[in-house]
Structure 1
Amino acid sequence: MESKTMNGKSGLKISVERAIIDHKLYEPLMRNCSDGLILSEKKSLKILTMNSKARALLDLEPEAKIEKVSDLLDTSAIGALMESKSVNTQANGLPIKMRSAVSGNYVWFFIEDFTDVARIESLSQKTLELNKELIGVFNEYGDETLMVTNGKGIIEFAGEKISRTCGVTSNYFAGKNVYKMEKEQIFAPSVTVRVLETKQPQVVIQTTRTGKELVAMGAPVLDEDGKIERVVSVTRDYSTQMNISKKIAALQEEGVSYENPQEEETDKVITCNDAMFEIKTLIKMVAATKATVLINGETGTGKEVIARYLYSLSDRKDRPFIKVNCGTISHSIVESELFGYEEGSFTGASKGGKIGLIEAANGGTLFLDEISELPLEQQVKLLHVLQEKMLIRVGGTTAIDLDIRIVAATNKDLEEQVALGNFREDLYYRLNVIPISIPALRNRKEDIPLLSKYFFKRFCAAYNKEMQISSSAVSTLEHYPWPGNIRQLENTIERLVLTTPKPMITANDLPKMFLENSSDTSVNVNKITRLDTAVEELEKELIKMAVEEYGTTVKAAEALGVNQSTVSRKMAQYHLKDSIEK
């Protein structure tokens, strides 16, 4: 009796379901539901109907005919849904979240708008990746040099060394605001303020109330919504090293020889520019870490020199340094060149396969120059390598573990490239852990004499030439804007060494474009001084320049429009003879 009752109920339920389907009683529910809905047969998965919301979420045209659920989803997703599990998947390339309800011979599929969920998860992943890298950097330093603030700049923690260098007690900073600390010149500029303003890692040279010069590096710690939750900064006192470097640069500029074989071997960054000193100091701070570095600068500014300098100071200096110019590899072979391939993976593949450039850098440093030129499809695979620390060769199935330090470089604004859709945003965040921006040569004019003499000395030795370059020639070079930056300067000096037929290179030996650019006869005045003193200094410089350029006092006097006796007398008065001969 009971069995008959149960069978009767079951039969009634089936009859009701059939009536609902046959008379389309579900249509009001389908129209008014905020989720996408698909109704299908359980056995065949034949779609009986779907609402407009489902079509919109699946990016289907209103007239598009989809017969089965299997036309939309893969087998694994369908299997999970049939077991009443929710599934995050893709349909027509779009991220969606699906649930199901099996009822008798029918299945209801519920589709949720997963766009915002996907965006949040993507941003969350980027945040975790960035924070993971930052932790790796800051773990290299003790907590005595750390400062932590909240997202509004309120100091939550400051190490004891920071307190000492700022001349305050150990508990002074707790609860204070970095904006106020900067205004009161306890430390200025504040790297935390710069991070809060830009939402990017920053590096500054700051001066404390006690007069100490510190290099401060700060970075944001983001929450799941991509907002700054905290700012963590670390400081290093490099005042002694910076003072020594500046004195050496000043001596070199004055013509005093200073040679340190060990430094010459590793330090090819020739500079006396403050911005470049900041870069060199930052490199010394992060060289021993595995943090990814992104170098930005115009063509010819020396991005590879900076990358090699970083490599030379790292604990990987005895391991491979592999340079990959992403702009020179043909798009058709970039995947096999970067990731390698297995034998027989494509027509023309070498017997035994080939390791890729990324794998060749294992244990060492991979320098990705012109990273902005990497095709989008390869950017995805590079991101996977960075995240998983492993790769699979083209045509292979075995994962190869990697231990590499990534240094990338570009002459383009990657944020702009991201906005244009030419560069993946997630890869940009993955690379932009330690950003380094190299100034153009026109913005570091004080380096032009140093670099000119460095290249001149190098090329004279390379071509076995005994030559000199006059102060007037160097001065003319200094006033040129250098659109091609250091590379153009280097090429110019090499050309002068090779083509000048006399032992002294003067301003007249320079190409015409340099002379046209130096036609301005104005005198630079940097500070107010006594007029008689200024006249003496100007006379001294003009006479010295003329004698160096023309070789004799007679020709120098002719160029200056005075008598030869005047030039000789002034040289004796200003003690110029010894300095010119020297």
Structure 2
Amino acid sequence: MSEIKEYVRTFNIFNTLSDGIYISDARGKTIWLNDASERIIGRKREELIGRNVRELENEKVFYPSVTRLTLEKQRTVSTVQTSKNGQKHLVTGNLLKSPNGDIELVVVHSRDITEAVRTSLQLEETEALLRKYSQELRKMKMLVQSSEPSSDLVGKSKRFRELLDLCERVASVDTTVLLTGETGVGKSTVAQFIHQLSHRNKQPFVEINCSTIPETLLESELFGYEKGTFTGASRTGKTGLVETAEKGTLFLDEIGELPLSIQPKLLKLLQDKTYLPLGSTKSKTADIRIIAATNQNLEKLVRENRFRTDLFYRLNVLPIHIPPLRERKDDIVHLAQSFLNKFNSIYGSNKTFSPQAYDVLQNYDWPGNIRELENLVERVIITSPQQEISANDLPDSLKKASPLAWIKQDAHGCETFPQLLESIEKEWIQRALRKHGSTRKAAKALGMTQSAIMRRMKKYGLNR
């Protein structure tokens, strides 16, 4: 006991330190703490001396208790401790032992790091804001540099805005992206949009369609080859598209068509960013981002053993589905106007669509999606004889698919308004039956009961 008192008299010198010193005995009872420790913990010395650190930890005076941890582990322990007033400190507990190895005291050193933590968090927030502002500046730059934004990326519908918002978030990270959607929805344009918003935007964007290159050539196109690898090979070798895309983005379109023989090599590239050119014994490292796209159901291909399961999961980290045009009808008019401006500029014309023509365009389902719409706008600009493109200038396949066009075409055969309503009702029921294949599904689509649709079918002489 006399030795401990001697310790305490010696401890008074610690009051000159700005760091906290907290001393407990071998059972965790508080013996002494310096002035700095009082300030850090927010309690007076008299309130703590004689109390066990475990009780103080339960009361959240400080937590976790590094004294307790040091005694339990029987060794020096360092951790970040939070006091009741919310301050954070880096604390280290040290055992002080007698000559025979018994624990006499636990001495804890504390340094206030609250300000350092706050500064670090502020720095992280600032960096996040800088990344966000940089991305916004890149978006503005894309619009300024192009007199006409990409015609595929036009629209105001909720589905379209959600797609763009997701692309912007995805562009800020370097993870692999898998774009899915029907043919013609603009997967390549979305991939370029993500690249332009990313930090790789000043580096190459390299695109390859996996379905257009023969299997025997695809591997050499992707990974390149060394000189003299095979008969007919270039004497200087060949740089592959992976190397061409260095620091940038490699876009693999129609990834579902990738041959099984090449899939393990792509998996290795995705896993550890390395690849082996044909004829080489030394792997190369690639600093690239990979965006893949497909109009196929990859999960079905996996079940059919036509696509590797591990490759699918590696690609499917950030999936983005691009909706077909029939699911974003509100965008059709905006897209048509955008294509109209584009081809008017190309062909030196100044043509417009009539309101009726816009109605027909908006009510068509567009199985070929944006690509079909673009091709149609170009065609009617060339073939329509008048300055204003009317509904009659559009192909019959579109007009027949448009309810509004049908009404205008056949209204003359109805002498009274009730007759017109009946003809419309009959036509809508026929369309629903053709589209859905059963009276139950057709009734649900039309907001009718099945018995009601059956009565009207009998009335109009319709069969299933």
> What TM-score does the superposition give when structure 1 sets the normalisation length?
0.44
Match runs of 1:47-86 below 5 Å: none
Aligned equivalents of 1:323 and 1:401: distance in 2?
A: 19
Aligned equivalents of 1:501 and 1:266: distance in 2?
A: 28
2:318 to 434, 439, 451: 434
SS in structure 2 of the partner of residue 333 of structure 1: helix
2:348 maps to 1:464 = yes
1:394 to 278, 291, 294: 278
Summarize deviations over 1:371-420 as a string: whole Å, max 9, x none.
00000010111001111211111001122111000000000111111111
Partner of residue 316, structure 1: 200
Partner of residue 477, structure 1: 361
Task: Give the deviation of 1:364 after TM superposition.
Answer: 0.3
One-letter code aligned to 1:354: K
Return closer, same or farther for 1:264/1:286 CA change in 2, 3 Å cut-off.
farther
Aligned equivalents of 2:150 and 2:169: distance in 1?
A: 15
8 A contact 1:366–1:406 mirrored in 2: yes
2:144 maps to 1:261 = yes
Aligned equivalents of 1:260 and 1:339: distance in 2?
A: 34
Return closer, same or farther for 1:330/1:454 CA change in 2, 3 Å cut-off.
same
Aligned equivalents of 1:314 and 1:519: distance in 2?
A: 43
SS in structure 1 of the partner of residue 262 of structure 2: helix
SS in structure 2 of the partner of residue 377 of structure 1: coil
8 A contact 1:266–1:309 mirrored in 2: no
Partner of residue 375, structure 1: 259
Partner of residue 384, structure 1: 268
Aligned equivalents of 1:267 and 1:328: distance in 2?
A: 24
Task: Give the deviation of 1:265 after TM superposition.
Answer: 6.8
Partner of residue 340, structure 1: 224
Aligned equivalents of 2:147 and 2:217: distance in 1?
A: 38
Partner of residue 386, structure 2: 502
Unaligned runs of 5+ in 2: 1-131, 409-464
8 A contact 1:296–1:411 mirrored in 2: yes
Task: Give the deviation of 1:331 after TM superposition.
Answer: 1.1
2:327 to 440, 443, 454: 443
Task: Give the deviation of 1:519 after TM superposition.
Answer: 4.7
8 A contact 2:363–2:402 mirrored in 1: yes
One-letter code aligned to 1:340: G
8 A contact 2:187–2:293 mirrored in 1: yes
Partner of residue 515, structure 1: 399
Unaligned runs of 5+ in 1: 1-237, 246-258, 524-582
Aligned equivalents of 2:403 and 2:181: distance in 1?
A: 29
Summarize deviations over 1:502-561 as a string: whole Å, max 9, x none.
2111000001111211255579xxxxxxxxxxxxxxxxxxxxxxxxxxxxxxxxxxxxxx
Partner of residue 561, structure 1: none
Partner of residue 292, structure 2: 408
Summarize deviations over 1:343-369 as a string: whole Å, max 9, x none.
111111011100111111111000000
Return closer, same or farther for 1:267/1:316 CA change in 2, 3 Å cut-off.
farther
Task: Give the deviation of 1:263 after TM superposition.
Answer: 7.6
2:168 maps to 1:284 = yes
CA RMSD of aligned residues (A): 2.5
SS in structure 2 of the partner of residue 281 of structure 1: helix
Aligned equivalents of 2:149 and 2:385: distance in 1?
A: 34
Partner of residue 365, structure 1: 249
2:310 maps to 1:420 = no
Return closer, same or farther for 1:265/1:454 CA change in 2, 3 Å cut-off.
closer
Aligned equivalents of 2:149 and 2:371: distance in 1?
A: 19
Task: Give the deviation of 1:260 after TM superposition.
Answer: 5.6
SS in structure 2 of the partner of residue 498 of structure 1: helix
Partner of residue 136, structure 1: none
Partner of residue 356, structure 1: 240
2:187 maps to 1:303 = yes
8 A contact 2:143–2:149 mirrored in 1: no
- Considering Cα pairs closer than 8 Å and 6+ residues apart, tell me whether 1 or 2 has the greater RCO: 2
One-letter code aligned to 1:502: Q
Task: Give the deviation of 1:277 after TM superposition.
Answer: 1.2
One-letter code aligned to 2:166: L
> What TM-score does the superposition give when structure 2 sets the normalisation length?
0.55
Aligned equivalents of 1:336 and 1:260: distance in 2?
A: 37
Counting matched residue pairs gives 270
Aligned equivalents of 2:234 and 2:265: distance in 1?
A: 22
Aligned equivalents of 1:446 and 1:292: distance in 2?
A: 31
Summarize deviations over 1:61-112 as a string: whole Å, max 9, x none.
xxxxxxxxxxxxxxxxxxxxxxxxxxxxxxxxxxxxxxxxxxxxxxxxxxxx
8 A contact 1:266–1:312 mirrored in 2: no
SS in structure 1 of the partner of residue 329 of structure 2: coil
SS in structure 2 of the partner of residue 343 of structure 1: coil
| The structure with more helix, counted as a fraction of residues | 2
One-letter code aligned to 2:288: I
Name the % identity: 47
SS in structure 1 of the partner of residue 252 of structure 2: strand
Task: Give the deviation of 1:266 after TM superposition.
Answer: 6.4
SS in structure 1 of the partner of residue 188 of structure 2: helix
